[in-house]
Amino acid sequence: MMTSPELFSIECKRCGRKHIFDQPYPYHAGFADQGFLYNDAGNLTFVWSMLDPVFEEIFPGKALWTMNLYHRWRFEKMLLPAPFGGLWRFRNPARCIQCAKPISGPMLRSIHYLVYPESIMTDQDKQLRLKEHLKNTA
């Protein structure tokens, strides 16, 4: 359901809460060669580019759809925790901010994602900043 050309809304099927996102539609990660994860609370989104040289260095020649369980676990462990609401995980869905029930699937089940306020977008404005969100492994 659209509210305006710039805003997308989705209603929680459990409690009826209407969520409005500052995006025109659910973004398609595949069209932009992106990956996305939600935090444990399901109220923040982490988006990165598969074309980021840091991602390429960590997982040479790997596309998100070819990453096995070990690769996904390794990537999750490399990420800094979410600013609030736990860790970033491939299995986390987007959640209703009122009742915490899923309103959109996790990356493992959906190619579309929602961007919550205060989310982390590492590939904006022609900059690739995945490295800034990885734990210091040195």
Q: What gap in Å lies between CA 10 and CA 108, rounded to an integer?
A: 20
Q: What gap in Å lies between CA 18 and CA 122, rounded to an integer?
A: 27
Q: pLDDT tens digits for 112-126?
A: 999 999 999 999 888
Question: Is residue 3 a part of any domain in this protein?
Answer: no
Question: Is residue 131 a part of any domain in this protein?
Answer: no
Question: Is residue 132 a part of any domain in this protein?
Answer: no
pLDDT of residue 136: 83
Question: Is residue 133 a part of any domain in this protein?
Answer: no
pTM of the model: 0.92
Per-residue model confidence as pLDDT tens for the chain (138 residues):
444 568 999 999 999 999 999 999 999 999 889 999 999 999 999 999 999 999 999 999 888 778 899 999 999 999 999 999 999 999 999 999 999 999 999 999 999 999 999 999 999 888 999 999 999 864
